[in-house]
């Protein structure tokens, strides 16, 4: 059981141990949990029964599998990759790839930085399945080399991207990979990497509307590490803004978005086609969905116009994001049938191999509204 996660999420909600116990009693309608029980769970002295684990997941707004999992460590790295890779890649090919790398000259840090740049670009245009297949092989090789801060930086960023190939609703995959990436980033001895990994996880989950407490926790961690303007801080602020919007706290969402704009003005990217960048068009994609969730049609349309004007033609998937946002606006305005139909038509126009898990989750958000 992930004892530390229970404590972190409790603190993110601003609850004492007694407060969490009261929430559990209220939700479960079984007034039998006490502050002492919560304390034992957080210290690993006792494991909650399945009944209480389910209610903990509900109260803390986290996938049950994330609470059930043990905290990740380096030894878990290769087993996690292997477990995730059996479906997309034949196991024998993975084994061959790993041993071939071990028997040949060790790739340099420059080699891995080039890989990072390539994946950052490819993620923007390729489907999740293809990225996952390639990353699985490379992570198996990289796992043999994470013995210095520079290699932990590479591992942290690639693991973050790997987490993006799983839907945020799948807590046993996406959330756990983001947590492992954060642990890896801590070994990089570089605060900018620590902030970026946590910020990227926050905006990924917040944009998808998944695991909101985890998204908020990552955002708060990133913001606490450093107050310097950076892409990591920008992602953290925008991720936290989306969490606030989904929860109905429009005032907090707008305040966070304004701070995000100020950080963007100081740290926005010139690079137009990398997952490790936030150029003007991408910032406005973030703002478009945020405004749609807030029901601010004028702000959403302004953001969509700016994003569409600067969006590279080579990235049609993100044009579909903007169309999906318009569908969500229609749903929020009361035209549920029309909004879903509009979004579905936009998604169908995009070739299936270009689909992302995020687009599917946006579709689900409209259908569940």
Q: What is the mean pLDDT of residues 227-240?
A: 97
Q: Looking at the predicted structure, is the pLDDT value of residue 93 above 80?
A: no
- Look at residue 90 in the predicted model and tell me its pLDDT: 45
| 8 A C-beta contact, residue 276 and residue 252 | no
Q: How far is CA 186 from CA 54, 73, 145, 226, in A?
A: 30, 12, 17, 13
> CB under 8 Å to 36, separation ≥6 — which residues?
none
Distance, CA of 349 to CA of 324 (rounded, Å): 12
| pLDDT band, residue 89 (cuts 50/70/90) | very low
| pLDDT band, residue 164 (cuts 50/70/90) | confident
The top-scoring range by mean pLDDT among 12-21, 117-126, 230-239, 338-347 is 230-239
pLDDT tens sequence across 171-199? 567 888 899 999 999 999 999 999 999 99
Please name the residue that has the structure tokens 């590490």. Answer: 225
Distance, CA of 202 to CA of 239 (rounded, Å): 5
| Residue 284 token pair | 């406005």
Distance, CA of 181 to CA of 161 (rounded, Å): 9
Distance, CA of 274 to CA of 231 (rounded, Å): 12
Distance, CA of 169 to CA of 50 (rounded, Å): 20
> CB under 8 Å to 299, separation ≥6 — which residues?
287, 291
Distance, CA of 174 to CA of 218 (rounded, Å): 13
Provide the Cα torsion 280, 277, 211, 214; round to 10°.
Answer: -120
- Look at residue 86 in the predicted model and tell me its pLDDT: 45
| Residue 330 token pair | 């229609």
Distance, CA of 186 to CA of 171 (rounded, Å): 22
Lowest mean pLDDT among 16-25, 76-85, 171-180, 264-273: 76-85
- Look at residue 175 in the predicted model and tell me its pLDDT: 86
The whole-chain average pLDDT of the chain stands at: 86
- Look at residue 321 in the predicted model and tell me its pLDDT: 95
Backbone phi, then psi, for 314, in 5-degree steps? -75, 0
- What is the rounded end-to-end Cα distance, in angstroms, of the chain? 33
Q: What is the mean pLDDT of residues 152-156?
A: 95
Q: How far is CA 46 from CA 8, 32, 60, in A?
A: 17, 15, 19
Residue 364's nearest CA partner among 327, 338, 335 is 327
* Its pTM surpasses 0.85: no
Residue 355's nearest CA partner among 304, 323, 316 is 316
Q: How far is CA 353 from CA 44, 125, 130, 147, 312, in A?
A: 44, 10, 9, 36, 19
Burial class (CB in 10 A: 0-12, 13-18, 19+), 244: buried
Distance, CA of 277 to CA of 252 (rounded, Å): 25
Q: What is the mean pLDDT of residues 99-109?
A: 71
Q: Looking at the predicted structure, is the pLDDT value of residue 94 above 80?
A: no
What is the dihedral sign for C-alpha 24, 30, 31, 37?
negative
Q: How far is CA 7 from CA 12, 69, 206, 236, 342, in A?
A: 9, 14, 21, 21, 42
Q: How large is the angle between the packed helices 191-208 and 280-294, nearest 10 degrees?
A: 40
Please name the residue that has the structure tokens 């996880």. Answer: 201
DSSP string computed for 21-85: HHHHHHHHT-TT--HHHHHHHHTTSS---HHHHHHHHHHHT--HHHHHSPPP-HHHHHHHHHHHH
Q: How far is CA 233 from CA 111, 237, 250, 277, 357, in A?
A: 27, 6, 20, 12, 24
| pLDDT band, residue 87 (cuts 50/70/90) | very low
pLDDT tens sequence across 138-147? 888 888 888 8
Q: What is the mean pLDDT of residues 126-132?
A: 80
């Amino acid at each position: 059981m992930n004892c530390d996660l229970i404590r972190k999420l409790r603190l993110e909600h601003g609850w004492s141990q007694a407060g969490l116990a009261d929430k559990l009693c209220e939700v479960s309608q079984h007034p039998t949990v006490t502050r002492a029980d919560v304390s034992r769970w957080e210290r690993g002295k006792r494991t909650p029964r399945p009944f209480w684990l389910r209610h903990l997941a509900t109260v803390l707004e986290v996938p049950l599998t994330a609470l059930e999992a043990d905290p990740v460590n380096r030894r878990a790295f290769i087993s996690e990759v292997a477990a995730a890779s059996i479906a997309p890649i034949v196991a024998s090919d993975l084994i061959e790839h790993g041993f071939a790398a071990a028997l040949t000259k060790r790739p340099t840090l420059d080699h891995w930085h080039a890989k990072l740049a390539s994946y950052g670009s490819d993620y923007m245009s390729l489907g999740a399945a293809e990225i996952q297949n390639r990353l699985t092989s490379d992570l198996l090789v990289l796992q043999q080399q994470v013995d210095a801060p520079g290699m932990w930086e590479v591992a942290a960023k690639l693991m973050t991207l790997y987490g993006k190939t799983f839907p945020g609703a799948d807590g046993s995959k996406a959330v756990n990979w983001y947590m492992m990436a954060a642990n890896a980033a801590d070994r990089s001895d570089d605060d900018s990497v620590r902030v970026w990994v946590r910020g990227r996880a926050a905006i990924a989950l917040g944009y998808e509307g998944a695991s909101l407490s985890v998204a908020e926790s990552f955002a708060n961690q990133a913001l606490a590490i450093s107050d310097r303007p950076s892409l990591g801080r920008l992602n953290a602020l925008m991720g936290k803004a989306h969490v606030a919007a989904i929860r109905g706290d429009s005032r907090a969402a707008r305040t966070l978005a304004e701070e995000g704009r100020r950080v963007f003005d100081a740290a926005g990217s010139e690079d137009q086609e990398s997952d490790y960048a936030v150029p003007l068009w991408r910032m406005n994609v973030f703002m478009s969905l945020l405004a749609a969730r807030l029901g601010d049609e004028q702000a959403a349309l302004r953001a969509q116009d700016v994003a569409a004007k600067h969006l590279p033609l080579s990235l049609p998937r993100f044009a579909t994001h903007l169309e999906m946002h318009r569908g969500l606006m229609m749903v929020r305005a009361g035209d549920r049938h029309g909004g879903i139909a509009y979004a579905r038509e936009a998604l169908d126009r995009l070739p299936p191999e270009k689909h992302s898990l995020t687009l599917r989750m946006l579709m689900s958000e409209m259908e569940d509204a």
